Structure 1
Amino acid sequence: MSYFTIAGVQLQAPHHGDNTDAMRARIEMLVARFPHVQMVVFSELMAHGASPLNAQPMPSGTEAMFCELAEKHRLWLIPGSMFEQVGELVYNTLSVINPQGQVVNRFRKMFPFRPYEAGVESGTEFVVFDVPNIGRFGVSICYDMWFPETTRTLAAMGAEVILHPTMTDTIDRDIELSIARTNAAVNQCYFFDINGAGALGNGRSIVVGPSGDVIHQAGIGEEVMPIEIDMNRVRREREAGLRGLGQPLKSFRDRQVDFSLYRSETRSTPFLDTLGPLAKPARRDIEPY
């Protein structure tokens, strides 16, 4: 089987607090209306909001509730992400839950939105998972997609679909739409970039096909996006090329160039070191007349 239906949920969150009742209600309504849906994906930090003070150790009661919902409706469920407490550290963590209600993996956001997402640690492990008889999926979170190495690594690990919860409420959302399309095209994969609305995002979620084509772009309010994908489209385009043309994954595999930047022990270069510290811009004083 190559067809699979994923519903992205752009939920209208009323506040930066406990939104789990709204998420539960949305899942119940979604399944009743669209019983063919096989996977549901929410946006970043939807469950408990964007404050690290709401971090919980995992497994948690909230995660267990989502596991029960996944099992009840026989769904794959990506309930966005939540802040995870690990001793004194806090991570931005996404759970992958299968239709048996089991957490098959957890992914920790690799690139917190620094300097603004202060106090959140970086994850270091890439996560892909297999849906039996369908294909391989990869996950990333929000700012991760600004670093092409993250999506390229998932594609090199065999991911055919990237599930990407985000929480963007800033004026750079239009740039992210371009980045989502680019990530899909250069890695020849589906890309589900699911944003929140209301207090937890400015909407405009986007679902992109493996040619970089926009399958659907949401508005700024609450929206449910059930979309059937065809894994054979990914496999064919990776074999024959994007629109029968470029084959970037094969070209990357067969490259002769050595990217020495990635072998640097300091992971930096003399030029990058001149850019100064990673800090919020300071207000500039206005010279008096």
Structure 2
Amino acid sequence: MTVMSIAGLQLALPANENNFDVIAKEVRNVKKRFPHVSMVVLSELATFGPAPRYAQTLPGECESAYSELACEVGIWLVNGSIFERDENRVYNTSSVISPAGEVVARYRKMFPFLPFEEGISSGNTPCVFTIPDVGTIGLSICYDMWFPETTRALAWQGAEVIIHPTLTNTIDRDVELSIARSTAAVNQCYMVDINAASPMGVGRSIIVGPGGEIIHQSSSEHDVMLFDVDFDYVRRVRERGWQGLGQPLKSFRDHPLNYPQYQAEARSKALDGLGPLKKPDNLA
């Protein structure tokens, strides 16, 4: 049996401050309380909040502090994300750090929340990493989830778990919970969607199994979500179908259709007719 214990931290952190010391205390407390935990996952932009002025270079001081913390505590650590400055561009980037303190993956959010997340550049590379003798994990950040191509790309590369830090403080959180469940079901994977609690976010983090079943759903308050990922269960669902039913990954693999919307230089009259991507005008 291949099982990994993961703790998602839905923390009540202020925006636009350096929250590292508070986060480090929470991580240490989780490991002290639950010695068997192997990975800790933070919410999107947990360290500094949604302020590009705090953008860091990578590698850099902030990421190094997380590396030292992961090594000290002896866990895999997903730092949610921070804004990364790379020359004249800013990205929303998540780092994955091993128990040895090594940065094993960095993922740049592919779909910034435009037109509202202004000035943030898009990443262009789906990101998966493999923990030897355990399994393969993919990374996704917040608005990425609204584009099924992003998570299908992760499943295509073998992701059995999708770690999805998010920062949502808007009315559409209920819709996101539905997307998280459907994403897990259609890709036959775990979906680990970790939001921030108030004041930065509205909470309601959700952990979903590979059949779309809810393992845990948080309230809006501080929450430490400890759960087990059973990789053998994912593989069984992918082979046999959830409850012996649909096998969507195999059907997707075997279908001969080359989707026209993904062909080079393809255009859609329907989508082109929607107008520019901008903030809504006043309806009055």
Q: TM-score, normalised by structure 2?
A: 0.98
**Partner of residue 132, structure 1:** 132
Tell me if 1:115 matches 2:115.
yes
What secondary structure does 1:53 align onto? Answer: helix
Task: State the one-letter code of the partner of 2:232.
Answer: N
Identity %: 53
1:98–1:104 contact (8 Å) kept in structure 2 = yes
1:197-219 Cα deviation digits (max 9, x unpaired):
11321000000000000000011
1:219-276 Cα deviation digits (max 9, x unpaired):
10110001011101100010001221100000000012220110041x5311100001
**Partner of residue 272, structure 1:** 271
**Partner of residue 5, structure 2:** 5
**Partner of residue 78, structure 1:** 78
What secondary structure does 2:178 align onto? Answer: helix
**Partner of residue 182, structure 1:** 182
What secondary structure does 1:197 align onto? Answer: coil
Task: State the one-letter code of the partner of 2:273.
Answer: T
1:16–1:199 contact (8 Å) kept in structure 2 = no
What secondary structure does 1:106 align onto? Answer: strand
Task: State the one-letter code of the partner of 2:11.
Answer: L
1:207-286 alignment runs, 5 A limit: 207-265=207-265, 267-285=266-284
Shift of 1:14: 2.4
1:49-107 Cα deviation digits (max 9, x unpaired):
10111111111111111101111111000011000001110000000101100101100
Task: State the one-letter code of the partner of 1:11.
Answer: L
Structure 2 residue runs of 5 or longer lacking an equivalent are none
Q: Which moved more, 1:8-17 or 1:211-220?
A: 8-17
Q: Which moved more, 1:1-10 or 1:108-117?
A: 1-10
What secondary structure does 1:84 align onto? Answer: strand
CA distance in 1, matches of 2:37, 2:279: 42
2:15–2:48 contact (8 Å) kept in structure 1 = no
CA distance in 1, matches of 2:78, 2:122: 20
Task: State the one-letter code of the partner of 2:230.
Answer: D
Shift of 1:15: 2.9
1:74–1:100 contact (8 Å) kept in structure 2 = yes
Task: State the one-letter code of the partner of 1:281.
Answer: P
CA distance in 1, matches of 2:199, 2:128: 30
CA distance in 2, matches of 1:245, 1:223: 34
Task: State the one-letter code of the partner of 1:179.
Answer: I
**Partner of residue 43, structure 1:** 43
Shift of 1:28: 1.1
What secondary structure does 2:48 align onto? Answer: coil
1:16–1:200 contact (8 Å) kept in structure 2 = no
CA distance in 2, matches of 1:246, 1:167: 32
2:159–2:189 contact (8 Å) kept in structure 1 = yes
2:169–2:201 contact (8 Å) kept in structure 1 = yes
1:184–1:210 contact (8 Å) kept in structure 2 = yes
What secondary structure does 2:267 align onto? Answer: coil
1:133-148 alignment runs, 5 A limit: 133-148=133-148
CA distance in 2, matches of 1:268, 1:35: 53
CA distance in 1, matches of 2:258, 2:32: 52
Moved beyond 6 Å, runs of 4+: none
**Partner of residue 30, structure 1:** 30
RMSD: 0.9
CA distance in 1, matches of 2:225, 2:33: 12
CA distance in 2, matches of 1:16, 1:213: 35
Shift of 1:174: 0.2
Shift of 1:21: 1.1
CA distance in 2, matches of 1:92, 1:105: 14
CA distance in 1, matches of 2:179, 2:202: 17
**Partner of residue 161, structure 1:** 161
What secondary structure does 2:5 align onto? Answer: strand
Shift of 1:18: 1.1
Task: State the one-letter code of the partner of 1:16.
Answer: N
- When the two structures are aligned, how many residues end up with a matched partner? 284
CA distance in 2, matches of 1:128, 1:15: 29
What secondary structure does 1:13 align onto? Answer: coil
**Partner of residue 200, structure 1:** 200
